[in-house]
Amino acid sequence: MLRRGPIGLVLLANVWLGALTVPAANGQDEPQPTEAVVSPQNFRKQAVIGNRWAPMKPGTRWIYEGTSQEDDGKIVPHRIIVTATDLTKMIGDVRTLVSYDLDYKDGELVEAELAFYAEDDDGNVWQFGEYPEEYEDGKFIQATAWIHGQKGARAGIMMPANPRIGYSSFAQGWGPSVNWKDRGLVYQIGQTIRVPAGTFEDTLVIKESAQGEKDAEQLKYYASGVGNIRTGWLGENAAITENLELLKVERLSSAELHNVRLKALRLESDAYRRSKDVYGKTVRATARNL
């Protein structure tokens, strides 16, 4: 799970009370085309995510490699594998797409995660929650799930439909029981970025932060038609001193996708057992073609 940095209480409260806003030329606030209140009737795409900056076609796998800093200051190799599965899950009357993510540090699996996304009719991609299991030396340590509609948690916008410089920051989710209070801000547009997967022009940079974490901001670089291609950071907080770059994007075969589906479903079975008060209150994920 990639973590973020600080945000003010006043702005956060405003987001959940109404529409996200941008400064208008006349000095008044104008509503953005997105709101931070989930309306199920605005999600008619049935877990199809085609946002140009964050496409998630089932059977696509993104592999990232880089480094991160441990609490003791040691820099270790870091590898993240993100797979858009062919599973969907109903959350708050919205059919979400299930992502299955694996996080390795220094060659050891430290986290396996299910995350849930949906695109509304305007093209904004929302995150509806996640279930991450953390491990140490191959043993389960803890799971800190947040799911829209459970324990005060609310979905947030991972990627706006038409991100522009000058928009207010947007809530990426609100999970108070696990301290998930992330926000995003359009930081740069038009950057040329080179990573192992290739050179990408006209990229978008989102700056992410979280309430309560000072001097800790994460930068995520997005390429049109590809998605996230690089993760960097700003600030002095070593907790997110992390640099990751896209190594490659793969299309899985039917057999490979089936294997990932089974692993994701096994993780979901663990979630029902280990997170009865949150995940246990959700309906089970189902495969599109079953």
Give CA angle at 188 (231, 12), nearest 5°.
Answer: 80
The CATH number of the domain holding residue 66 is 2.40.360
**Is 26 inside a domain boundary?**
no
- Rounded to an integer, what distance in angstroms lies between the CA atom of residue 16 and that of residue 156? 10
pLDDT over threshold 70, residue 18: no
Alpha carbons 271 and 98: distance in angstroms, whole number: 14
What pLDDT score does 234 carry? 82
pLDDT tens for 55-91 read 999 999 999 999 998 877 889 999 999 999 999 999 9
Output the pLDDT for position 102.
Answer: 98
Give one word for 152, left, alpha or beta, with left for phi > 0 and alpha for psi -120 to 50. Answer: left
- pLDDT category of residue 6 using cuts at 50, 70 and 90: very low
Give me 142's structure tokens: 């803890």
Q: Single out the residue of 11, 35, 276 nearest to residue 154, CA to CA.
A: 35
pLDDT at 147 over 70: yes
Query: pTM of the prediction?
Result: 0.86
Amino acid 215: pLDDT: 63
pLDDT band at 211 (very low <50, low <70, confident <90, very high): low
pLDDT for 110 equals 97
Asked whether residue 158 is domain-assigned, the answer is yes
Asked if residue 208 is part of any domain, the answer here is yes
- Total of domains in the chain: 1
pLDDT, mean of residues 38-45: 90
Q: Given a cut of 90, is residue 24 above it in pLDDT?
A: no
Asked if pLDDT for residue 2 goes beyond 60, the answer is no
Residue 3 lies in a domain: no
Is residue 32 situated within a structural domain? no
Instruction: Tell me if 34 is assigned to some domain.
Output: no
Domain housing 218: 9-19+44-287
pLDDT for res 249:
98
Statement: residue 205 has pLDDT above 50: yes
- 36 — pLDDT class (breaks 50, 70, 90): low
Class of residue 25 by CB neighbours under 10 A (exposed 0-12, middle 13-18, buried 19+): exposed
